[in-house]
Every structure is written in structure tokens, then in C-alpha cells.
Amino acid sequence: MEHKKLKIFVLLVGLLVPTIRGGASYIFSFDGYSHIVIKEGSVHSDPKGSSIQASIDGHMLSVVFLENLGSVLVEVTDTNGGTVDVVDMYTPNGYTAYIFGTGSYIVNFTFENGDEYYGEFEVTN
């Protein structure tokens, strides 16, 4: 029964996110959708990078976790190592952040078992 509830939740979130993003396009300036490749950093267990999907659309960073991977620390930094955003959350919840400045950024994912993944992306105006 719990598995069915999770499927319904994921489906509803999948339907809701495009609706929210569509409405947000009137508020924010979007330069166009770009997929962010997720790479392995330090991985000690079975790789789960394919369960993380990330994209940048203008200044809006979106991350979707396709399965329950437990607790994850999400950290967005600029190329100089300056922290833009940090959040500790549970998967499979999604994550969105508005990146104010233009430039090169890295989104890092650190799971409670120590596994690390990252993705590099550009914000242009």
C-alpha cells in the first residue's frame, strides 16, 4: 500500500512541477532549459547518479530525485567556492533554487552514507 502511495505522490509532483514552472515564466526571465549532467564524486555504494535529474532554465535550478535515497545535503556553489544555497532534505522530494547571478556553478549532493555526486552548470542572462 505504501508503495502505491509513493507512486501517486511522484506522479502528482511530476504533474505539478511543470504547472508551477509554466506560471513562473511570467515572473522570472528564462533563457531556455538545459539538462545538467550528474557525475560521481566519491561513491562507496551502488551508484545512484541516474536517480538524480537536474536542469537549469534561465536562473531557475530544478532537481528531481527519482527514488528514495534517504537524506541528502544539497549545496550550490559558484566556481570560486562561494556558497549560494545549502539545504538538508529527504528524497524523493525535489529541490528548486533561483540563482541570482550569472556565471558558472556547481550543485553538490552528499548522501548520509557519504556518497557524493555533482553537476556543473552555467547561468546566462
Taking only the tens place, the pLDDT of each residue in 44-66 is 888 999 999 999 999 999 999 99
Q: Cell numbers of 32, please? A: 531556455
3-state secondary structure of 37: coil
**Whether the Cβ atoms of residue 121 and residue 36 lie closer than 8 Å to each other:** yes
Which residue carries 539545504 as its cell? 87
What letter does residue 80 receive in the DSSP assignment? T
Would the pTM of this model clear 0.75, i.e. be above it? no
pLDDT at 66: 95
